[in-house]
Amino acid sequence: MAVPFDQRPDLIWMDGKLVPTSETQISVLTHGLHYASCVFEGERAYGGVIYKGTEHSERLKRSANILDFEIPYSVAEIDAAKRQVLDRNNQKEAYVRAIAWRGSEQLGVSAQQNKIHLAVATWEWPSYFDPAQRLKGIRLDLAEYRRPDPATAPAMAKAAGLYMICTISKHRAERKGYADAMMLDWQGRVAECTGANIFFIKDGKIHTPIADCFLAGITRATAIMLAKKRGIEVIERRIMPDELSGFSECFITGTAAEVTAVSEIEQWKFTPAAITKQLMDDYTAEVQPKGGKAAAA
């Protein structure tokens, strides 16, 4: 049986100090728990170097600002904290989770004076999907919940509360034998998966939904950059579900998923082929450390 996360023999950086994971404590009356005033980042380290760590730290700060609080550490300080805990845990192929939240000084909707906390945890983590399965293609369900209208939720923040419907949708998909679920937006257009962006291929061109009610992921941007370097046209546009039968390939991107092929979305079938495999290979090469730990920014 896997060791529960709160009992892992690692260190966590918390409010400026390294603390054994089993000794980290927050109050059950924390505002972030009751009112979802919490933002986070998911990052990966390859060979001990965090890929695009500074971009993630910048997004963490932006997400907090959207939720109306200021993280009391600079981007450089957050970067340093992530490197410190990764080094002290002596982890090379690892997941990095930075998280910030409002504390427990006041428990009510209004909590403007609550202390803002920041923690960074890391743990060894290999590929999210088996390498052979990543190329063969995973199966996706079609989620019942939809991404909300950005006028009704802080869609551009990586905020904990926005993932509630993702957890529900992924659980339902897994119970039906799928690996994940594709979500539509509030207008019934293709949006993303529960924790990854989605791409489709037709006639040698890549199509992906416009990211205006969900996060335009950092891995998403990397995949687009890699495709364009190969001379592959990438079209960001509105995609309706009834178009899916016209696409030949499909893949998803994310810090956890990296670049993973999709073979099926409910009744729609896809065959992973040259473009998907090329981008998988290019992404694997892209994230490898270049020039030592100086590249960790």
Q: Residue 131: what pLDDT?
A: 67
Last residue of a domain, one of 94, 124, 154: 124
Q: How far apart are CA 26 and CA 30, in angstroms?
A: 7
CATH number at residue 158: 3.20.10.10
Mean pLDDT of the region 183-207:
98
End-to-end CA distance of the chain: 35
Q: What domain count does the chain have?
A: 2
Q: List the one residue out of 194, 203, 251 whose CA is nearest residue 223.
A: 251
| Beta strand 258-265 pairing with 249-254 | antiparallel
For the segment 142-170, what is each residue's pLDDT rounded down to a tens digit?
A: 999 999 999 999 999 999 999 999 999 99
Is 109 found in the same domain as 16? yes
Q: 297 in a domain, yes or no?
A: no
Mark whether 231 and 167 lie in a shared domain. Answer: yes
Q: Do residues 114 and 166 share a domain?
A: no
- The domain in which residue 240 lies consists of 131-286
Mean pLDDT of the chain: 94
Q: Which of 124, 148, 169 represents a domain boundary (last residue)?
A: 124
Give the Cβ contact number of residue 223 at 10 Å.
26
Is residue 295 domain-resident?
A: no
Q: Which residue has the tokens 């092929």?
A: 261
State the DSSP code for 185: B
For residue 110, name the pLDDT band (cuts at 50, 70, 90): very high
Say whether both 137 and 257 belong to one domain: yes
- Provide the percentage of residues in the chain whose pLDDT is more than 90: 90
Burial tier of 3 (Cβ tally within 10 Å: 0-12, 13-18, 19+):
exposed
Could you tell me the pLDDT band of residue 236, with boundaries at 50, 70 and 90?
very high
* 184 within a domain of the structure (yes/no): yes
Are 245 and 224 members of one domain? yes
pLDDT band at 42 (very low <50, low <70, confident <90, very high): very high
Rounded to whole angstroms, the Cα distance separating 241 from 236 reads 15
Arithmetic mean of pLDDT, 210-230: 97
Q: What is the rounded CA–CA span in Å between residue 46 and residue 127?
A: 11
Q: Does 270 map to a domain?
A: yes
Largest CA distance in the chain: 57
Mean pLDDT of 70-75: 98
Are 114 and 236 part of one and the same domain? no
Q: Is 175 found in the same domain as 213?
A: yes
Q: Is 205 found in the same domain as 281?
A: yes
